[in-house]
């Protein structure tokens, strides 16, 4: 496979390179692109030293099998359609194309069948949505999902490299807010993204629209409160879900235990620090939600892996006919 990664020097781009190795992608050629700032720097794929190149339209004079974008919406909007000159499938991590009706929004374990015979741009969902959609898809099949109320506890790496640097600097005494609206060290911020007219912020809106699109059901209500917390890696979520049918807790546990992409823990719970290099959505504390048509659970995943890089690499492998 001839692959290009755009945004290779970022938190997600670097993880994509690691995931190519870990998920045993049959890479024959790998080109790495970033902005002018880090052009010329070196990154490693296995023991191969690769020079990062500045992204410009000359990149698309080459031929690739897959191009993975992880450089924000602005770059994606400008360059992803151009990149289709060089390859059949572009996988984009940003929000640029997620709402486009013609562009599939894919979590391979849920709706990977959309990739069959598809060429073009594929959108990778938002990190907080991917980890929640995996268990919700299992429960939806069993009981018919109607409504979700979720509160998130999202790590600073979700804001990219700059988020990590801001928290580290504040822990050393800096009062520089970085891109955050308030101090994040020893604090938490109940706003991720810009405010919308209806009182929600953009991250909350994404959790609603993307969950509906992935589960192919516009009627699901998703009411999210997204919160940035001073954790380096790993997003946590407290999820309350309501269903058409009465819930059978034992059946839910059984199906959750065997669902691909999910690590189900019946007797204890997962914290962000427990995640290590797990690529899975960790579900624990599954219990009734106060009446017989509802469930509550605790959900934790690595936002850089499952929430971004791993899902993108799995999309690529699935499209190419490999199961990751």
Verify binding: residue 311, ligand NAP, rule CB under 6 A: no
Interface region with ligand NAP, contact rule CB under 6 A, candidates 65-73, 210-218, 237-245, 316-324: 65-73
Verify binding: residue 202, ligand NAP, rule CB under 6 A: no
53 neighbors 59 (Cβ within 8 angstroms):
yes
Q: Could you say which of 127, 265, 282, 293 is catalytic? A: 127
Helix axis angle, 11-22 to 310-319, nearest 10°: 50
Interface region with ligand NAP, contact rule CB under 6 A, candidates 5-13, 100-108, 131-139, 257-265: 5-13
71 neighbors 55 (Cβ within 8 angstroms):
yes
Q: Which of 3, 25, 71, 215 binds ligand NAP (CB under 6 A)?
A: 71
Q: Which of 144, 160, 230, 289 binds ligand NAP (CB under 6 A)?
A: 160
Q: Which of 222, 231, 295, 308 binds ligand NAP (CB under 6 A)?
A: 308
Instruction: Examine the residue annotation and report whether 208 is marked as an active-site residue of this protein.
Output: no
Q: Which of 4, 7, 86, 145 binds ligand NAP (CB under 6 A)?
A: 7
CA distances from 63 to 43, 83, 85, 89 (A): 21, 10, 8, 12
153 neighbors 161 (Cβ within 8 angstroms):
no
Helices (H), 8-143: 11-22, 73-83, 108-111, 127-143
Verify binding: residue 210, ligand NAP, rule CB under 6 A: no
Verify binding: residue 75, ligand NAP, rule CB under 6 A: yes
Q: Which of 4, 20, 55, 239 binds ligand NAP (CB under 6 A)?
A: 55
Instruction: Examine the residue annotation and report whether 235 is marked as an active-site residue of this protein.
Output: yes
12 neighbors 124 (Cβ within 8 angstroms):
no
Write out the catalytic residue numbers. 127, 235
């Amino acid at each position: 496979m001839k692959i290009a990664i755009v945004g290779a020097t970022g938190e997600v781009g670097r993880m994509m390179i690691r995931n190519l190795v870990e998920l045993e992608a049959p890479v024959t050629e790998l080109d790495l692109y970033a902005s002018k700032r880090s052009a010329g720097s070196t990154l490693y794929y296995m023991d191969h030293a690769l020079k990062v190149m500045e992204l410009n339209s000359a990149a698309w004079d080459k031929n690739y099998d897959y191009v993975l974008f992880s450089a924000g919406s602005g770059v994606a909007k400008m360059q992803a359609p151009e990149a289709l000159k060089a390859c059949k499938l572009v996988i984009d991590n940003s929000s640029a194309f997620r709402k486009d009706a013609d562009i599939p929004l894919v979590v391979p374990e849920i709706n990977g069948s959309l990739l069959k015979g598809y060429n073009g741009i594929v959108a990778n969902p938002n990190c907080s949505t991917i980890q929640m959609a995996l268990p919700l898809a299992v429960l939806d099949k069993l009981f018919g999902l109607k409504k979700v109320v979720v509160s998130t506890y999202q790590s600073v790496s979700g804001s990219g490299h700059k988020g990590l640097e801001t928290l580290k600097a504040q822990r050393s005494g800096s009062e520089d807010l970085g891109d955050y609206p308030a101090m994040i060290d020893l604090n938490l911020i109940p706003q991720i993204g810009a405010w919308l007219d209806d009182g929600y912020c953009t991250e909350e809106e994404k959790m609603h629209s993307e969950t509906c699109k992935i589960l192919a059901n516009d009627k699901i209500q998703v009411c999210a409160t997204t919160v940035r917390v001073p954790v380096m890696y790993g997003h946590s979520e407290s999820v309350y879900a309501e269903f058409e049918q009465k819930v059978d807790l034992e059946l839910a546990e059984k199906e959750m235990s065997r669902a691909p992409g999910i690590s189900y823990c019946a007797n204890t719970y997962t914290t962000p620090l427990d995640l290590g290099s797990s690529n899975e959505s960790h579900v624990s504390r599954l219990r009734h939600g106060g009446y017989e048509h509802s469930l509550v659970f605790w959900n934790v995943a690595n936002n850089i892996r499952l929430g971004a890089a791993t899902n993108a690499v799995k999309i690529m492998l699935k499209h190419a006919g490999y199961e990751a």
